[in-house]
Amino acid sequence: MERKSVLVVDDSETIRKQVGGALARVGFDVVEAVDGLEALERIDERKFSLVILDVNMPRLNGIELLERLDPKKRGLLVLMLTTEVEPAIIERAKKAGARGWMIKPVNLDQLVRTVEKLIGAAA
Amino acid sequence: MHDSRAALDIIIQSSTVELFHSWGIAVAPVARNLFRPEQFQSYELVASIDFDGRGLNGTLALAVPQSVFALVKQDPTRPHTGRDWVRENVNQLLGRIKGRLLQFQVTLKAGLPAVMTPEAFEQMRARGFLAVYAFRTLRGEVLVALSGQVDYSVFVYSGATTLPSEGDIILF
């Protein structure tokens, strides 16, 4: 059976390794990107089941990437993972097509369950 | 003004305690009257982040000795480097502070976190901090420093809000 792939986009290696490690341990194929521009390249190269996306990043931030991607049109699930709690920004992400908002630090088991649930529901 | 200053102190102290708790590290704020800035130890891991908002702008710095980071590294599933870890944690610390300040009608815009050399931190200290908060751990002291400007008159407490908080997962 084909492994589902997840793209983890965060400028912090700490977060990429933590989140990516938790997903890889339950069988996901994990790809990392350090900012929005690199994420765009990865998304153009291959298909991902889900993207985990930070907001505050250099070059291209998560909200800008989301608005550029149009995830609904691409059939791409995007979960935001950030320290940001400002309602206006959360609303902007929702409008741009994000499927969820997770506030750092998140429980890794819960994160994995959420990813599995979203991918399972979309299958 | 005194109430607002006290509120900011509590926000920064509680945010720091909770941040370290999330890594399994117990930290206790050092009372201001027991804190001697001249007794600062040297810090191997320092990161800072700029912030800007109505009535509040400046830089938040987090300084952690390697001995405290060693507690994080005890868990083998945490393959972090100290520099990236402290950088991410100053970002998370400002995130917690930002979230709590929303209750006071203060909205902050955050810059990008950056690692500071110990020398750059010394220079920042020499220029003077607006406030310094020390925290005791079993392996040394952690420091949170604030430089910049605060207009306490803009703090208007609007009561408890239903804002999301750390660890929350909201599905749309």
Kindly state whether B85 is in contact with chain A, defined as any CB-CB distance less than 8 angstroms: yes
Domains of chain A plus CATH, in order, are 5-122 (3.40.50.2300)
Identity of the residue in A18, A58, A99 whose CB atom sits nearest the CB atom of B172: A99
Residues A106, B171: C-beta atoms closer than 8 Å: no
Alpha carbon distance A31, A20 (integer Å): 8
Q: Which of B110, B118, B116 is nearest to B91 (CA)?
A: B110
Identity of the residue in A87, A100, A107 whose CB atom sits nearest the CB atom of B167: A107
Quote the ipTM score. Answer: 0.91
- What CATH number does residue B106 fall under? 3.40.1550.10
Helix (H) or strand (E) holding B169: strand B169-171
The 10 Å Cβ neighbour count of residue B60 is 24
Domain assignment of residue B162, yes or no: no
Alpha carbon distance B81, B93 (integer Å): 18
Q: Which of A110, A108, A109, A90 is nearest to A100 (CA)?
A: A90
Max CA pair span of chain B? 50
Domain assignment of residue B159, yes or no: no
Provide the residue-wise pLDDT of chain A in tens; the chain has 123 residues: 678 999 999 999 999 999 999 999 999 999 999 999 999 999 999 999 999 999 999 999 999 999 999 899 999 999 999 999 999 999 999 999 999 999 999 999 999 999 999 999 887
Kindly state whether B22 is in contact with chain A, defined as any CB-CB distance less than 8 angstroms: yes
Domain that holds residue B31: 2-154
Domain assignment of residue B161, yes or no: no
Domain assignment of residue B164, yes or no: no
* Count of domains for chain B: 1
Domain assignment of residue B61, yes or no: yes
The pLDDT tens digits for B63-76 are: 999 999 999 888 87
Domain assignment of residue B167, yes or no: no
